[in-house]
Amino acid sequence: MSVPARNDEAELIVERLNGEAQGVARRDGFVWFVVGALPGERVRARVIKPGARSCVARVMEIVEPSDLRVVPPCPYYARCGGCAAQHLAYHASLDWKTGTVRDCLERIGGIKTLVKPALGMDDPWRYRNKGAFPVAGTADRPSIGCYAPRSHEVIDAPGGCMLQKPETNRLMDAARDWMTARRIEPYDEASHSGLVRRLVSRVNRDGSSMLTVVLRGTDARPPHADELVKRLREAEPGLCGVAVSPHPSRGNAVFGSECRELWGARSLTERLELSVGALVYDLSPRSFFQVNTAQAERLAEKALEYAGYANGSSAADIYCGAGTLTLALAKAGFDAVGIELLPDAVGDARRNAIANGMPGVRFECGDAAVLTPRLARERGGFDVIVMDPPRKGCDRAVLESAAMSRPSRMVYVSCDPATLARDAAILAGLGYRLAEASPIDQFCWTTSVETVALFVEG
């Protein structure tokens, strides 16, 4: 078997999609991962990244197209790295994400269980309530958009992103016009020069918005700041605040260490409409909140369903962030406590508890592996433990401390099927069986899959 080299071409029949939305094909015992190909298609592909046993290739010609292929509506899709599946019919993308969760659980975790069909959206566009756009280019032609795949090349997107709210796109275009008119230097990552590094928007369900300008250096006020605010307000009447985040260090962190108000409000209020009642959240620029409000509601409802009947039962919400699920549990009747390592997030959570008329809901700041057993002893155990870890999953010590509390149920909210599968295998060894998993399409057209999973004793 000859190993394909860069720029080699072959005609292939695609078998399936992998988790990165690449078509998987085999030829002479060699695996091809083909960007832009769909299952069942016959394609001519060219190698762009050779390897010893597999290669990454790109479609050069679709010889026999799939019935599931659609024309991507976004004019930037071919170059932008924000989406990966706009060429796949939406209902088929939900099947693909369901299969990705099932495959990871079986292949990585060695677990076969019920994976319910992914919950999608009626309209999977314009859903993002937050946008964080890198800025590059020159003072004459600034680029504001997303990175190209596997690079830090910024793809300029005049008119905006089809996943973002219209308010965000209008704000980005106004900021681009300001930079061009006043020759404001975009950030250059290689030389660590220029001024504007990122533009970060938030838009709530009622159409109110905020914009944060992330600047290289320590200045809290960009040049011609008044003109910027004027252009933004004219472009978006619902704008309620503009902030600046000085970010003098190298690196890819979105924000600097603080955000300072340039004009207007310092935060934005968002609302979730749940079956147990409405919850409001006060969001500062750096606050974490699910980027898809409609699907965040479905996620919270599924977590409450898996948590079961409350009636004063005790619940711990580990990795609680700004308290989204903690407050939902409390609203449902659980005696809930939130546990979070980041002090800023705990501050947001406590403010959100007060804003919702639940000042008695407790939030603890610290390592969950230490706090969970201590709080369990204080409360006589937990009936339910909810975990919503970052993409890397739970630390093993956290899983062990949760299992030591012997709750009857654990609800795990995952944003990465691979780490969910790894942690499911660990929990199985600690006496907790994965009973059911429900994928939720929180990030339509991307490779990201959110999953709510129920673990029970036995």
State the catalytic residues. 415
Token reading at 272 = 């979730």
The residue type of 161 is C
Helix runs in 142-224, H state only: 166-182
Give 94's Cβ-side CA count (13 Å radius).
Answer: 15
Kind plus residue range of the DSSP H or E element containing 133: strand 130-137
Q: What is the 3-state secondary structure (H, E, C) of 235-301?
A: HCCCEEEEEEEECCCCCCCCCCCCCEEEEECCCEEEEEEECCEEEEEEECCCCCCCCEHHHHHHHHH
- 3-state class of 203 per DSSP? strand
Question: Scanning the structure block, which residue is given the tokens 């619902």?
Answer: 238
Q: How far is 86 from 75, CA to CA, in rounded Å?
A: 11
Q: Which residue has the tokens 């099947």?
A: 95
Cα–Cα distance between 258 and 284 in angstroms, integer? Answer: 11
